[in-house]
Amino acid sequence: MALLEVEGLVKHFVAERSLFGRALAHVKAVDGVSFSLDTGKTLALVGESGCGKSTVSRLVLRLIEPDAGAVRFDGRDLLSLDANGLRSFRREAQIIFQDPYASLNPRMTVGQILTEPLALHDLVPAPRRSERVSELLRLVGLEPRLARRYPHEFSGGQRQRIAIARALAVEPKLIICDEPVSALDVSIRSQILNLLSELQDRLGLAYIFVSHDLAVVKHIADYVAVMNLGQIVETAEADTLFAAPRHPYSRALLSAIPVPKPRAKSSRIVLQGEIPSAINPPPGCRFHTRCPYVVDRCRSEMPWLVADGIGHATACHRTPELPSSEAIVPMDGGFSPVLEKLVAAFSGGPEAARGGGVRSLGAAPTTP
Amino acid sequence: MSTSPLIEIRDLRIRFHGDDGRITHAVDGVDLSVANGATLGLVGESGCGKSVTSLAIMGLLPKQSAEISGAIRFDGFDLLKTPDQTLRDLRGIRLAMIFQEPMTSLNPSFTIGDQIIEAILRHRGGSQRSARERAIELLRRVHIPSPERRIDEYPHKLSGGMRQRVMIAMALACDPRLLIADEPTTALDVTLQAQILELMRELKAASGAAIILITHDLGVVAEVCDEVAVMYAGEIVERAPVDELFSAPQHPYTVGLLGSIPRLDHRAEQLATIEGMVPNMAQPPAGCRFAARCPFVLDACTKTSPPLLEVGPGHLSRCIRAPLELLVS
């Protein structure tokens, strides 16, 4: 059974009210989104700003109330939970945000920040809490003595580690990562991504990973759902999607990824026109105003998400007739052999460099 | 490159005097040059000095707190010794800059037309009417749909990608010889990023302007730059033609950066990481500034600061262990 099942989720925000408070216009932020997620797996939600990916992640946690749809977590119907039930659910699902500066209280020490959830949910008896805090800090690669410090004394990457430790404090099964590495520098970003995968392996966590960085998504996700204007237009296993995206929107999105290889072969599709407003999404297929393959039917009839035999689903009338998309995603062609060795030596530390021996990049991290 | 450079920076040093009396060495002995029509990528992480370098070129650093030395030769001027009035004329006509966040660089209480026309009248003169026509023409050049109508709109009515186009149109108003673009696509989605990069390439081909592109995204660099300078802790640590940098980098920091990017072609279980932290620039360490984080470090690295030396044609590295191939062969 899936850990999380989402069905027909809808959320419309009121964009404009009349003098008497009657709603005049709605932003259709999320309009009929369904997916499921298994324990220990990562689902990435991708799409342009305003496509509804962050709203979906908040609906799943019931941080905002959906207008329609169903969310089942571990067999329980989330939308019918009362305050108590919701509180115990929050112990099983946590969220980390993009901005680690804004998500930690500057007036609390790291120790206090991490103790709070333990006390709130009465998870660990008071005398053993500081021990648990040390354990959590070690888990995210920080030294336990840092518990006495305040958030401003840490760098961005370290703060994101603290935010992750806080999410882990309640031993959740699901963590929603909303752009967790977007505000971080490249070298720090890789540390946090490594940490997230390590923790997933060790603790069997499921992630919903919201990101606009598609190379990062390719690296971390098992499944990907591509969203456009409040709807999922394509969903598949990450490797399948990146090998051959089907929906014209996914094609454009994936073809636009800049790859760190000069003169990389690419067949970039540059979309013309602007993203339509979610207040008045276009009728029919919501992508038709920007779609290079548009036909009359797309302007009037909304396509449904239809899955093939291996669970690769696409919402496009023209799926079977579109040209092959195998060469759409730009290839970085890998590193030159010398660079490959250098990177391995760089990760392997001084011994590897000095001895000329190369340790595999996939070497398991040493667990304390 | 054989042609004489359009801009040449020699031994640029920038120090900031903080309120508490602390001195931060933001840029420490940077040498750079860009030829006519070339695109130089300036790469590095937060605080490495890349944006400060570009602000120094534009003459936009606060005079009270920034102490600048060295020389920036551009078009027969030394920009560091040019009087403010002349500098104001140079900016706009020959030098232009676009920033990461277009909303904060546009005045919300004027229409985009007013703002572009102001730039044209200020630097080129002419009648209001001809300036308006030129503004519409510029908006058309950056592919803004129905520019005759859009010109009278206010910035808040435009999307992020559209605003960045307006900024580019404004920067191009007087056909600058050098365009500095500071993270121009960082705030944009990939689809818009692709549009803006395409546009920059197109405009460069049409006008022959040189571009300095400041970014932390090596993917963007690979796509639009001819040459790359990698900065770390206020210094240039490596400089190379773009193909060279991505196939055979000669500084360990560049190797670490390349290794830490997730790749599309194959899935590594673990990405490379650069351990440790950027040194405190109030007291830069003796010796190589990357030494504390470098897996290839030797005792000699921590003693004296390594010079930026040529390791191949047009390829410079500030590392005593270069060529790095020898470390793994």
Q: How far does the CA of residue B219 sit from the closest CA of chain A (Å)?
A: 4
**Chain B contact for A244 (CB, 8 A cutoff):** no
**B197 and B222 in contact (C-beta within 8 Å)?**
no
**Chain B contact for A263 (CB, 8 A cutoff):** yes
In this predicted model, what pLDDT tens digit does every residue of B15-46 receive, in sequence order? 998 888 888 899 999 999 999 999 999 999 88
Closest CA to A210 of A314, A311, A97: A97
Residue A336 has a pLDDT of 84
Q: How far is CA B111 from CA A1, A264, B50, B96, B153, in A?
A: 56, 40, 32, 20, 5
Per-residue pLDDT at A155 exceeds 70: yes
Q: How far does the CA of residue A81 sit from the closest CA of chain B (Å)?
A: 37
Q: What is the DSSP letter of A234?
A: E
Helical axes A186-203 vs B252-259, angle rounded to 10°: 50
Per-residue pLDDT at A356 exceeds 70: no
Among A42, A98, A101, A187, which would you mutate to test the B interface (most chain B Cβ atoms within 10 Å of its Cβ)? A187
Residue A361: pLDDT band with limits 50, 70, 90:
very low
Residue A321 has a pLDDT of 92
**B25 and B284 in contact (C-beta within 8 Å)?**
yes
Contact between chains at B218 and A346 (C-beta distance less than 8 A): no
Q: Which residues of B touch A356 (CB under 8 A)?
A: 327-329
Per-residue pLDDT at A365 exceeds 70: no
For A182, the 3-state DSSP assignment is coil
Which of A253, A329, A346 lies nearest to residue B191, judging by beta carbons? A253
Q: Which of A:126-155 have CB within 8 Å of B?
A: 155
Q: Which of A:198-217 have CB within 8 Å of B?
A: 212, 214-216
Q: What is the mean pLDDT of chain A?
A: 88
Contact between chains at A346 and B259 (C-beta distance less than 8 A): yes
A23-37 β-sheet, strand order = A23-37, A4-17, A68-73, A76-77
Among B156, B192, B195, B273, which would you mutate to test the A interface (most chain A Cβ atoms within 10 Å of its Cβ)? B273
Q: Which of B:226-245 have CB within 8 Å of A?
A: 242-243
Q: What is the DSSP letter of A276?
A: P
Residue A360 has a pLDDT of 33
Looking at B226-267, list the stretches that DSSP marks H as alpha helix, in order from N- to C-terminal side. 242-247, 252-259
Report the residue of chain B nearest A276, measured CA to CA. Answer: B159
Place of tokens 């699902």: A93
Residue B68: pLDDT band with limits 50, 70, 90:
very high
Residue A259 has a pLDDT of 86
**Chain A contact for B154 (CB, 8 A cutoff):** no
What architecture is domain A4-221? 3-Layer(aba) Sandwich (3.40)
Place of tokens 């730039």: B119
B172 CB-near residues (< 8 Å, 6+ apart): B96, B138, B141, B142, B179, B203, B207
* Mean pLDDT of the region A219-236: 96
Residue A6 has a pLDDT of 96
Residue A348 has a pLDDT of 77
The Cα B11–Cα B72 span in angstroms is 9
The residue that leads in pLDDT, A323 or A360, is A323
**Chain B contact for A348 (CB, 8 A cutoff):** yes
**A90 and A174 in contact (C-beta within 8 Å)?**
no
**B41 and B228 in contact (C-beta within 8 Å)?**
yes
Q: How far does the CA of residue B126 sit from the closest CA of chain A (Å)?
A: 33
**Annotated domain spans of chain A:** 4-221, 246-359
The Cα B138–Cα A308 span in angstroms is 48
Q: Which residues of B touch A262 (CB under 8 A)?
A: 222-223, 242-243, 246
**Chain B contact for A84 (CB, 8 A cutoff):** no
The structure tokens listed for B292 are 């504390």
What is the interface size between A and B, counted as CB pairs within 8 Å? 188
In this predicted model, what pLDDT tens digit does every residue of B111-145 receive, in sequence order? 999 999 998 998 888 899 999 999 999 998 888 88
**B163 and B213 in contact (C-beta within 8 Å)?**
no
Would you say the C-alpha torsion A250, A256, A259, A264 has a positive or negative sign? positive
Q: Which amino acid makes up residue B286?
A: A
Per-residue pLDDT at A305 exceeds 70: yes
Place of tokens 């040093």: B13
Among B191, B317, B325, which would you mutate to test the A interface (most chain A Cβ atoms within 10 Å of its Cβ)? B191
The residue that leads in pLDDT, A25 or A227, is A227
Per-residue pLDDT at A349 exceeds 70: no
Closest CA to A233 of A248, A216, A255, A218: A248
In this predicted model, what pLDDT tens digit does every residue of A10-51 receive, in sequence order? 999 988 888 888 888 888 999 999 999 999 999 999 998 888
User: According to the per-residue pLDDT averaged within each range, which of A200-209, B254-263, B276-285 is highest?
Assistant: A200-209
Residue B3: pLDDT band with limits 50, 70, 90:
low
Q: Which of A:19-78 have CB within 8 Å of B?
A: 48-49
Which of A263, A275, A343 lies nearest to residue B159, judging by beta carbons? A275
Contact between chains at A260 and B261 (C-beta distance less than 8 A): yes
In this predicted model, what pLDDT tens digit does every residue of A240-260 receive, in sequence order? 999 999 999 999 999 988 888
**B39 and B221 in contact (C-beta within 8 Å)?**
no
The Cα B175–Cα B165 span in angstroms is 15
The structure tokens listed for B159 are 């999307």
Q: What values do phi and psi take at A84, rounded to 5?
A: -65, -45
Contact between chains at A339 and B270 (C-beta distance less than 8 A): no
Q: What angle do CA A282, A268, A50 make, to 5 degrees?
A: 35
Q: Which residues of A touch B261 (CB under 8 A)?
A: 186, 190, 215, 260
Residue A362 has a pLDDT of 35
The Cα B97–Cα B164 span in angstroms is 12
Residue B2: pLDDT band with limits 50, 70, 90:
very low
Q: What values do phi and psi take at B172, rounded to 5?
A: -85, -5
**Chain A contact for B223 (CB, 8 A cutoff):** yes
Q: Please, how many CA atoms are within 13 Å of residue A161, restricted to the half-sphere of its CB?
A: 25
What DSSP line would sit under B119-182, residue for residue? HHHHHH---HHHHHHHHHHHHHHTT-SSHHHHTTS-GGGS-HHHHHHHHHHHHTTT--SEEEEE
Contact between chains at A256 and B219 (C-beta distance less than 8 A): no
What DSSP line would sit under B8-52, residue for residue? EEEEEEEEEE-TTS-EEEEEEEEEEEEETT-EEEEE--TTSSHHH
Residue B191 has a pLDDT of 82
Per-residue pLDDT at B48 exceeds 70: yes
Report the residue of chain B nearest A362, measured CA to CA. Answer: B269
**Chain A contact for B218 (CB, 8 A cutoff):** yes
Per-residue pLDDT at B257 exceeds 90: yes
**Chain B contact for A186 (CB, 8 A cutoff):** yes
Beta strand B210-215 with B39-43 is parallel
Per-residue pLDDT at B288 exceeds 90: yes
* Mean pLDDT of the region A315-321: 94
Segment (H or E) for A77: strand A76-77
**Chain A contact for B320 (CB, 8 A cutoff):** no
Which of A260, A331, A352 lies nearest to residue B218, judging by beta carbons? A260
For A162, the 3-state DSSP assignment is helix
Secondary-structure breakdown of chain A: helix, strand, coil percentages, each rounded to the nearest 5: 35, 20, 45
In percent, the amount of chain A with pLDDT more than 70 equals 94
B5-17 β-sheet, strand order = B23-35, B5-17, B66-74, B77-78
Name the maximum alpha-carbon separation found in chain B.
68
Q: Which of B:70-89 have CB within 8 Å of A?
A: none
* Mean pLDDT of the region A62-85: 93
The Cα B184–Cα B193 span in angstroms is 9
Per-residue pLDDT at B162 exceeds 90: no
Predicted complex ipTM: 0.83
**A52 and A229 in contact (C-beta within 8 Å)?**
yes
**B248 and A339 in contact (C-beta within 8 Å)?**
yes
* Mean pLDDT of the region A90-115: 91
For A60, the 3-state DSSP assignment is helix
The residue that leads in pLDDT, A87 or B266, is A87
Contact between chains at B272 and A242 (C-beta distance less than 8 A): no
Per-residue pLDDT at A353 exceeds 80: no
Contact between chains at A361 and B270 (C-beta distance less than 8 A): yes
* Mean pLDDT of the region A103-107: 92
The Cα A355–Cα A352 span in angstroms is 5
